[in-house]
């Protein structure tokens, strides 16, 4: 089959592409690289003109005064230029409801043409979109990425990007996409639960992980327990990084001779990977029921990851608590207690490390997952 994947911001589409290629399919991946993460794509449509220092400040001022994003307009222009060549694909898959990264008006117009000149189109729910944000906004989860906003309305500015997904213009775009796609697929429990009652929902397909590229790293305890915390400043609040930082202070004060703590901020994906390769414990995110892509890749390497590992996830995969990943709750003391438990019981780190790798190979192997996509696309 000839397959077009549009959008990338976690390496999901790259790993899926690798699995599809192994199955003998032709795959083209279009995306922007997702800013500083710089993920590889076949066709790069990232806006570049307004990234020049002088023009960047002009575009920022115009956006503030008029709410018109020149970067979004450039994204639309760049995608429109290549659109005539994006035809005749058997399958088109959108990474989310804003895969072209332009405003709803142009997104709708460009997608309309894209849908017409290809056969089947599918939508992924693997990040912020109308349904998942509305579900969280209505407080249907016990906690979510919107919990900090619910607790403090002064954070509205920091949540501007997320809350825009439930605006009227975004709802119209969402409705248009849902009407025209052949089906919707969720990548994990956080997106699976809100979609359960929707007729076009085709089910959960776990994130694909290329275990051939991510080798298992045997844990070494000849020195201190190394803890890694990589911060993306844009997502600082919604990922719950403050709880990790507070927990690390507790641990550093209590076990200065037993731990080595490494903290990085806003570094490219390749550097992020290099920094956590030697760690035993990785702190990923708090406000989640399931693991995101960074967590899964770290688990593939045998890291003990503090992330979303709620009861719903345990039930779905038939797992026991604290055997594959550690559920990071929005409570610094509880996080610190779990880290302390691991420091005092290093054999548990070894055990969870092996279990994490085995789990990824069983449930997230990129070729197995590619086959699941092919099955759903073809059905």
Which is higher by pLDDT, 272 or 374?
374
Angle at 130 between CA 125 and CA 132, to 5 degrees: 55
259 shares its domain with 238? yes
Residue 357: give its domain's CATH number.
3.40.50.2000
Cα separation, 126 vs 5, in Å, equals 14
Which pLDDT score is estimated for 101? 92
- Show Cβ contacts of residue 154 under 8 Å, excluding neighbours closer than 6 positions: none
373 shares its domain with 329? no
Of the chain, the percentage scoring pLDDT greater than 90 comes to 79
Q: Is residue 217 part of a domain?
A: no
Can you tell me the mean pLDDT for 154-170?
93
150 shares its domain with 9? yes
**What digits encode the pLDDT tens for the residues 304-335?**
999 999 999 999 999 999 999 999 999 999 99
Side by side, the strands of the sheet bearing 281-283 are: 259-265, 225-231, 281-283, 304-307, 326-327
**What digits encode the pLDDT tens for the residues 209-256?**
999 999 999 887 777 999 999 998 888 999 999 999 999 999 999 999
Can you tell me the mean pLDDT for 11-38?
89
Phi/psi for 26 (5° steps) reads -95, 125
Residue 40: give its domain's CATH number.
3.40.50
Q: Is residue 321 part of a domain?
A: yes
312 shares its domain with 374? no
Which pLDDT score is estimated for 53? 64
**What digits encode the pLDDT tens for the residues 249-278?**
999 999 999 999 999 988 877 788 888 898
101 shares its domain with 235? no
Q: Is the pLDDT of residue 54 over 60?
A: no
Q: Is residue 302 part of a domain?
A: yes
Cα separation, 300 vs 36, in Å, equals 23
70 shares its domain with 135? yes
Cα separation, 357 vs 355, in Å, equals 5
Q: Which residues constitute the domain of residue 154?
A: 2-208+366-378
At residue 182 the predicted structure's pLDDT band, cuts being 50, 70 and 90, is very high
**pTM of this structure:** 0.92
43 shares its domain with 129? yes
Can you tell me the mean pLDDT for 182-188?
98
State the greatest distance between any 2 C-alpha atoms of the chain, in Å, as a whole number. Answer: 63
Which pLDDT score is estimated for 269? 73
Q: Is residue 13 part of a domain?
A: yes
37 shares its domain with 170? yes
Task: Give me Rg for the CA atoms of the chain.
Answer: 21
Which pLDDT score is estimated for 350? 95
Give Cα separations from 333 to 308, 309, 329 (angstroms): 17, 18, 10
Which is higher by pLDDT, 66 or 227?
227
Give the distance, in angstroms, between the CA of residue 38 and the centroid of all CA atoms in the same chain.
14
Mean pLDDT of the chain: 92
Which pLDDT score is estimated for 86? 97
Domain count, the chain: 2
144 shares its domain with 247? no
Give the distance, in angstroms, between the CA of residue 40 and the centroid of all CA atoms in the same chain.
16
At residue 125 the predicted structure's pLDDT band, cuts being 50, 70 and 90, is very high
Q: Is residue 219 part of a domain?
A: no
Q: Is residue 220 part of a domain?
A: no
Q: Is residue 270 part of a domain?
A: yes
Cα separation, 230 vs 261, in Å, equals 11
157 shares its domain with 178? yes
- Show Cβ contacts of residue 159 under 8 Å, excluding neighbours closer than 6 positions: 146, 149, 237, 238
229 shares its domain with 265? yes
CB 179 within 8 A of CB 115: no
Q: Is residue 238 part of a domain?
A: yes
54 shares its domain with 171? yes
The beta-carbon contacts of 253-256 under 8 Å, at least 24 apart in sequence, are: 254/340, 255/340, 255/343
Which pLDDT score is estimated for 33? 65
Q: Is the pLDDT of residue 64 over 60?
A: yes
């Amino acid at each position: 089959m000839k397959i077009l994947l549009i959008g990338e911001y976690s390496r999901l589409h790259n790993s899926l592409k690798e699995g599809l290629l192994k199955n003998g399919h032709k795959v083209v991946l279009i995306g922007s690289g997702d800013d500083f993460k710089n993920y590889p794509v076949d066709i790069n449509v990232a806006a570049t003109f307004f990234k020049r220092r002088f023009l960047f400040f002009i575009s920022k001022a115009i956006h503030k005064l008029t709410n018109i994003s020149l970067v979004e307009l450039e994204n639309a222009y760049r995608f429109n230029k290549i659109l005539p060549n994006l035809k005749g694909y058997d399958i088109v898959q959108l990474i989310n409801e804003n895969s072209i990264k332009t405003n709803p008006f142009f997104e709708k117009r460009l997608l309309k043409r894209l849908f017409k000149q290809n056969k089947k189109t599918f939508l992924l729910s693997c990040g912020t979109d109308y349904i998942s944000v509305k579900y969280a906004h209505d407080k249907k989860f016990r906690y979510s990425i919107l919990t900090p906003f619910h607790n403090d309305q002064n954070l509205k500015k920091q949540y501007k990007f997320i809350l825009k997904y439930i605006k009227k213009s975004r709802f119209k775009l969402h409705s248009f996409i849902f009407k025209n796609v052949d089906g919707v697929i969720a990548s994990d429990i956080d997106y699976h639960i809100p979609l359960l009652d929707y007729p076009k929902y085709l089910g959960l397909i776990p994130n694909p992980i290329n275990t051939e590229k991510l080798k298992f790293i045997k844990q070494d305890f000849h020195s201190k327990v190394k803890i890694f915390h990589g911060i993306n400043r844009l997502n600082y609040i919604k990922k719950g990084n403050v709880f990790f930082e507070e927990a690390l202070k507790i641990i550093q004060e209590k076990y200065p001779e037993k731990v080595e703590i490494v903290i990085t901020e806003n570094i490219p994906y390749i550097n992020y990977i290099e920094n956590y390769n030697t760690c035993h414990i990785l702190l990923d995110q708090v406000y989640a029921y399931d693991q995101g892509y960074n967590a899964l890749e770290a688990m593939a390497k045998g890291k003990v990851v503090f992330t979303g590992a709620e009861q719903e996830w345990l039930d779905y995969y038939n797992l026991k608590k604290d055997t594959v990943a550690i559920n990071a709750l929005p409570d610094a003391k509880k996080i610190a207690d779990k880290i302390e438990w691991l420091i005092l019981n290093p054999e548990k780190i070894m055990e969870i490390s092996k279990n994490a790798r085995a789990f990824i190979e069983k449930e997230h192997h990129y070729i197995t997952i590619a086959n699941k996509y092919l099955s759903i696309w073809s059905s």
